[in-house]
Amino acid sequence: MRIFDSIDLRHLRALDMIMTELSITRAAERLALTQPAISNSLARLREHFGDELLAKHGARLVLTPFAQRLQPALRALLADAQALVSARPHFDPAHAEQNFILLAPDHLASIFLPDVVREVSKCSPLSRVTCMNPSPGAWKMLMHGDVDVTVQPLFQLLPDHLHDMLFAEPWVYIARRGHPIARPGVDEAVLAALPQVRAILPRGETTGTQPQRVQAQMSAALIPAVVAASDLVARVPGSLAQFQKQRCSSPLEVLPCSDPATMIHMQWPICKNSDPTSRWFRDKIAETLEPFRHHFAFPQNENA
């Protein structure tokens, strides 16, 4: 290992041992090297520094004034080099101060993000979570490795990055409780023809039945509140509908939709695949969504 063109780290290690033992013989024994090898290292460094470094004083060696000034820096350098070559990827959540970057559509983030933040806060209290909605700038962050993980539909995955499937996201219709038409048992074609709220989903999602009478467009996370207060209906991700129905006070009817389920995946930059910090965060998301997947249980259709 060469630090500079003319200095080999092994020669510096030999010099440090000679300085410590003040004996070429004992230095060679300590390093399990031959005396000629140790003498050769000393000769090379004498030539490089232009100083004797160690001089004979009677029967023993003594450090020159230059070597005395050099010794503390030499030992610090060798200690840093030892720490560097001994380093291994490691993440200690209890003491880490990490900003985890998550990219997720707001309707999904509104459901699982509180649990993720709670788990991260509990296990890594000095860290924080930054959640970003998909956008061209955010996708560039993923491509450049500046995002730890994304949670998104299969069709939105970027090429050349790793991913795992989390769950199958079915589609459903929602309407306010007591809607004059959108009631359990109504034909799906009738639901599709009613005035609707359409979700503006990331990157122009266009799969499934398109509503014929769109009267409002907005973020998917806002739709349940609008539907609950009007006679508009909406086709939304099933997890969002179930979350609103079970955890919120808005009375909603959740009605079946025959559109294929969307596969929700977790994706991360390939450069962070082995990074223990990013992997820990991915594991927390997967752990959080495992009970979520069973809690929001819907009949599964074909992959979309």
Range of the domain at 79: 2-86
102 three-state secondary structure? strand
Judged on CB neighbours under 10 Å (0-12, 13-18, 19+), 47 is exposed
Residue 174 · residue 195 · CB < 8 Å: no
Residues 150 and 183 in one domain: no
Cα–Cα distance measured from residue 252 to residue 232, given in angstroms and rounded to the nearest whole number? 12
Residues in CB range of 72: below 8 A, 6 or more apart = none
Residues 154 and 221 in one domain: no
Residues in CB range of 45: below 8 A, 6 or more apart = 7, 11, 12, 15, 53
Domain boundary pick from 54, 86, 118: 86
Per the structure block, which two tokens stand in for 30?
């300590």
Q: Does residue 276 form part of some domain? A: yes
250-287 burial, b at 16+ Cβ within 10 Å, e below that, comes to bebbbbebebbbbbbbbbbbeebeebebbbbbbebbee
- pTM given for the model: 0.65
Residues 66 and 210 in one domain: no
243-292 pLDDT, tens digit each? 777 666 668 889 999 998 888 899 998 888 888 999 999 999 998 888 66
Residues 136 and 279 in one domain: yes
Residues 186 and 244 in one domain: yes
Q: How confident is the model at residue 188 (pLDDT cuts 50, 70, 90)?
A: very high
Residues 119 and 246 in one domain: no
Residues 136 and 155 in one domain: yes
Residues 188 and 126 in one domain: no
Residues 249 and 276 in one domain: no
Tell me the CA distances in angstroms from 192 to 181, 227, 233, one per residue in order: 12, 14, 9
Number of separate domains in the chain: 3
Output the pLDDT for position 166: 87
- Rounded mean pLDDT, 52-72: 88
Q: Does residue 304 form part of some domain? A: no
**CATH code, 143:** 3.40.190.10
Q: Which residue has the higher pLDDT, 97 or 141?
A: 97
Residues 22 and 148 in one domain: no
Domain boundary pick from 51, 86, 121: 86
**CATH code, 59:** 1.10.10.10
| Angle in degrees, 0-180, between the axes of helices 35-49 and 9-21, rounded to the nearest 10 | 100
277-288 pLDDT, tens digit each? 999 999 999 988
- C-alpha angle 269/274/278, rounded to 5°? 60
Q: Does residue 261 form part of some domain? A: no
